[in-house]
Structure 1
């Protein structure tokens, strides 16, 4: 199982507490700007989650590896696909970044960062697979309910996820875009929402997908589905 993402790996050893708030307090005591502290917290949390994921895959009998790359870099993506060599059984593309703002407050750079990471990244990956002559049994793009129903402050993110559908339709093999609703946290994984966002969803009576149910739904879709795009959610907006 080959994992890839922007987070640097392996991470540097750290003596920071597990709780993000406590982590911020420790880093603040060491100096640095608020932005620098937040970047460090996000990186450490992401690296710890990568480590837990790798351990879980190994415990289940898999042989995982992680590579750090930016999916917007065509050369890096092509290099990754070529390095894999041999059969590629399946591909799950879940790259994405958020920079939620109303369109009136958003500049072009912000829009491009959000849109290109998902839309251009997916296009680059498909091109690399085709160039390498790979024929995966399935290609799955992780989209968002925002592409289907919209979401305030996420025009760029909605557009990026919507752009995945024609890409899936262009792939000659089995390809599906799954537009997910928000996932609930599970065990040591934070899900797709922060605690603050989870409280906001609760206030708006928006349900969160159970992680086990989400995984089961995806496996059923890959095994039996024929649609190029589907929506899975615990509730509508």
Structure 2
């Protein structure tokens, strides 16, 4: 069939469904492993699953966490879905999953924080270098991360609280973690001189930015390439 053959489109959607199910299983395993790792290090961590595209569920979760501890010191938003395809092969449904998970989730979270009696000292939104450089097959993901920065900046202006969007470059694999890029995407980054971030250094860079960075700065780009 031709480019518009419905069988080809159905095959693409089926592949996406399989990939989403596989990613969900792997994500659950990684969550369990991370919690075990934190416990072994003596840290107390609680995990709860909430769809932050659901405003009521998000508001309830934020209020319950605030009530449990009496305060909310900081928030890190790192939600995201990747379904890389060329624009000609992207479906509206796939685009919305990628774009909406990032933007609707952040908007709902930030709105929920405004319902608290006192806002957090900071809200960090995890963006992507794709919002700055673009990536082949990631038009939806690049657009979502660019919009994420705008959402954070608007929230900061509206509330007076600190919001920082970090447009991360690709992270290197370490230990049981596979990193954040496929081999193909890693090669594409390497072609453009974008090196992989060492996880320990990336974590330290975020802490340095929160401790000593200018609070009026709304977004930073972090890579391992010495830019």
State the TM-score, normalizing by the size of structure 1. Answer: 0.78
Does residue 75 (structure 1) correspond to residue 56 (structure 2)? The answer is yes
* Distance in structure 1 (CA, Å) of the matches to 2:169 and 2:95: 22
1:102 counterpart residue number: 86
**Aligned partners of 1:62 and 1:164: how far apart in 2?**
30
SS in 2 for 1:123: helix
Tell me how far 1:211 sits from its aligned partner.
0.5
- In structure 2, what is the equivalent of residue 228 of structure 1? 218
Q: Match of 1:142, SS?
A: strand
1:153-198 Cα shifts (integer Å, max 9, x gaps): 1111111101122222222211100000000011111221134433
Report the alpha carbon displacement of residue 56 of structure 1 after superposing the two structures with TM: 2.2
* Greater helix proportion: 2
Q: Which runs of 5+ in 2 are unaligned?
A: 1-13
Moved more, 106-115 or 172-181: 106-115
Separation in 2 of the partners of 1:90 and 1:60? Answer: 21
- In structure 2, relative to structure 1, the CA distance for the partners of 1:81 and 1:220 (3 Å cut) is same
Alpha-carbon contact 2:16-2:83 (below 8 Å) kept: no
> What's the TM-score once normalised by structure 2's chain length?
0.81
Aligned length in residues: 205
For residues 1-237 of structure 1, what are the structure 2 equivalents within 5 Å? 38=19, 41-84=22-65, 85=67, 86-169=70-153, 170-171=155-156, 172-202=160-190, 205-226=193-214, 227-235=217-225
The verdict on how the C-alpha distance between 1:152 and 1:163 changes in structure 2, with shifts beyond 3 A counting, is same
Q: Distance in 2 between matches of 1:202 and 1:194?
A: 12
> CA shift at 1:64, angstroms?
0.7
Cα RMSD after superposing both structures: 2.3
**CA distance change for structure 1 residues 188 and 158 in 2, over 3 Å: closer, same or farther?**
same
User: Structure 1 unaligned runs (5+)?
Assistant: 1-32
**Residues 31-84 of structure 1: per-residue CA shift (max 9 Å, x gap):** xx9877655543332222111211222233321111112221112211110111
